[in-house]
Amino acid sequence: MPSLNDIRSTFLGFFEKNGHRVVDSSPLVPRNDPTLMFTNSGMVQFKNLFTGVETRDYNRATTAQKCVRAGGKHNDLDNVGYTARHHTFFEMLGNFSFGDYFKSEAIPYAWELLTKDFGIPKDKLLVTVYHTDDEAADIWKKVAGLSDDRIIRIPTSDNFWQMGPTGPCGPCTEIFFDHGDHIWGGPPGSADEDGDRFIEIWNLVFMQNEQFEDGSMRALDMQSIDTGMGLERIGALLQGKHDNYDTDLMRSLIEASAHATSADPDGPGKVHHRVIADHLRSTSFLIADGVMPSNEGRGYVLRRIMRRAMRHAHMLGAQDPVMHRLVPALVHQMGAAYPELNRAQALIEETLRSEESRFRQTLDRGLRLLDDELGKLPEGANLPGEAAFKLYDTYGFPLDLTQDALREQGRAVDIAGFDTAMAEQKAKARAAWAGSGETKDAAIWYDLADQHGATEFLGYDTEEAEGQV
């Protein structure tokens, strides 16, 4: 059975053999795009090649790209532990053409790799195309011999990709694998499409248009290809598994978590182990790429992920810091493909250990407070915003950590109440400061801090450029 490491090599080797330059993953903190929080797809490092602003000595490339989707427009944090197919950190395998080949080659490449090199039975695969993209539908029919009911036409933005509000865009085709009718879920486009039966493995984007500010569109002179396939998803199916978390790599991290917490990997704490394994990867790779936990920006997203993982370790009964003890298992699995993990190992371990030691001091007490509060509420009632705010303010619980804890019990936080409590506290602080007589301009600083999110990062969602493949 191929390991995830083998599958990554097979993918890159296939495209190298077909004239593509193997390019290293770019860092998780985008070098060329301040509007994007984290690299969240393979195309990010190539943006300027697609727009023609930059040229290089190759016009075909292939990569295994580190991606994090835990903030901004693509945020899969809340899916982790709940679906079989989402991670906060994952590897996106891609092939790219910069004004070189287009649809009539991109589709056959994908089909050949999937059905010949990977040996996936054709009758388990189906595809979507954008509803007006007859060209792609015809190529699928010709190349793969798929029947019409296996080429599903989708009219939504799921099948029309845009780099941003303006710029290159175009239809895309998504390839799905049917894991069988014992799993809940319907085919893409159906009412049950969010289930895990039909899993999207590969997304091929055909950049053929340019979008302008006034809403008009024109055909691009330079047509390009951008594709992305989740290594963990293709890995699961090639290993005969349905669930990404049952792949060799994820499983070894889950076992490390089970060992460190002495809690059965498949017992009632199963979900906790999955979340820990996932968050171990995102936090370690972020630290290796230079992000450090802090109270704002990228660092706050990192801190939130770390603290969520730490609560899950606590739920497994861990009395001492756990996360740093799992790092060697990760380095063992992924250090060969990503040497930056080896280089940063000591820093990752130390950062996790000190962050977890500190957070544990308030975690226990915060969770007890949460239990007390919940005990006072009628069954299923939402947690009052004030309690969530106290957890945030006094115990260092990011709001999403509290929400994550409540979700296990089918409860939520009263967000409006939380916002009110936050606003009241800010007003009080401002009044106290103004009353101190130190400076009458102090209020301005508070306003600035509010506007710029000095204490809490609110996300790049508003203007973030598209990062989906």
Q: Enumerate residues 211-230 that contact ligand ATP by CB under 6 A.
A: 228-230
Listing DSSP states for 410-425 in one string gives T--B-HHHHHHHHHHH
Burial 409-433, CB ≥16 within 10 A → b, else e: eebebbeebbeebbeeeeeeebeee
Q: Enumerate residues 87-106 that contact ligand ATP by CB under 6 A.
A: 87, 90, 92
322 binds, among Mg ion, ligand ATP, none (CB under 5 to 8 A by kind): none
Cβ proximity to ligand ATP, 84 vs 287, nearer residue: 84
Listing DSSP states for 36-70 in one string gives -SS--SGGGGGHHHHTTS---S-SEEEEEEEEE-E
In the bound complex, which residue of the shown chain has the CB atom lying closest to Mg ion?
203
Cβ proximity to ligand ATP, 86 vs 312, nearer residue: 86
Q: Which stretch binds ligand ATP (CB under 6 A): 79-87, 131-139, 299-307, 379-387?
A: 79-87
Does 203 participate in binding Mg ion (rule CB under 5 A)?
yes
Does 85 participate in binding ligand ATP (rule CB under 6 A)?
yes
Please give the size of the binding site for Mg ion, defined by CB under 5 A: 2
228 binds, among Mg ion, ligand ATP, none (CB under 5 to 8 A by kind): ligand ATP
Does 125 participate in binding ligand ATP (rule CB under 6 A)?
no
Q: Distances from the Cα of 407 to the Cαs of 284, 352, 380, in angstroms?
A: 26, 25, 10
Q: Are strands 151-154 and 125-130 parallel, antiparallel or unpaired?
A: parallel
Closest to 15 (Cα-Cα) out of 118, 91, 94, 90: 94
Does 232 participate in binding ligand ATP (rule CB under 6 A)?
yes
Cβ proximity to ligand ATP, 237 vs 391, nearer residue: 237
Work out the angle at residue 371's Cα, subtended by the Cα atoms of residues 365 and 372, and round it to the nearest 5 degrees: 90
Among 86, 197, 241, 303, binds ligand ATP (CB under 6 A): 86
Evaluate whether 225 touches 108 at the Cβ level (below 8 Å). Answer: no
- Distance in Å, CB of 132 to ligand ATP, minimum: 19
Among 38, 130, 140, 202, binds ligand ATP (CB under 6 A): 202
Cβ proximity to ligand ATP, 308 vs 324, nearer residue: 308
At 367, which amino acid appears?
A: L
At 82, which amino acid appears?
A: Y
d(CA 282, CA 285): 5
274 binds, among ligand ATP, Mg ion, none (CB under 5 to 8 A by kind): none
Evaluate whether 81 touches 275 at the Cβ level (below 8 Å). Answer: yes
Q: Enumerate residues 26-55 that contact ligand ATP by CB under 6 A.
A: 41
Q: Enumerate residues 29-58 that contact Mg ion by CB under 5 A.
A: none
Does 243 participate in binding ligand ATP (rule CB under 6 A)?
no
- Distance in Å, CB of 158 to Mg ion, minimum: 6
Does 398 participate in binding ligand ATP (rule CB under 6 A)?
no
User: What does R_g of the chain's alpha carbons equal in angstroms?
Assistant: 24
Kindly report the backbone phi and psi dihedral angles of residue 152, in degrees, each rounded to the nearest multiple of 5, phi listed first: -90, 130
Those residues whose C-beta lies under 8 Å from the C-beta of residue 317, and which sit 6 or more positions away, are 261, 262, 263
Evaluate whether 73 touches 163 at the Cβ level (below 8 Å). Answer: no
DSSP letter assigned to residue 246: G
At 158, which amino acid appears?
A: D
Does 203 participate in binding ligand ATP (rule CB under 6 A)?
yes
- Distance in Å, CB of 285 to Mg ion, minimum: 19
Among 28, 36, 114, 201, binds ligand ATP (CB under 6 A): 201
At 32, which amino acid appears?
A: N
* 53 exposure class (CB count in 10 Å sphere: 0-12, 13-18, 19+): exposed
Among 47, 66, 179, 233, binds ligand ATP (CB under 6 A): 233
Does 128 participate in binding Mg ion (rule CB under 5 A)?
no
- Distance in Å, CB of 203 to Mg ion, minimum: 4
- Distance in Å, CB of 172 to Mg ion, minimum: 7
Q: Which stretch binds Mg ion (CB under 5 A): 115-123, 193-201, 238-246, 270-278?
A: 193-201
At 97, which amino acid appears?
A: S
Cβ proximity to ligand ATP, 80 vs 367, nearer residue: 80
Contact residues for Mg ion, defined by CB under 5 A: 200, 203
Query: Which parts of this chain interact with ligand ATP (CB under 6 A)?
Result: 41, 69, 76, 85-87, 90, 92, 200-203, 228-230, 232-233, 468-469
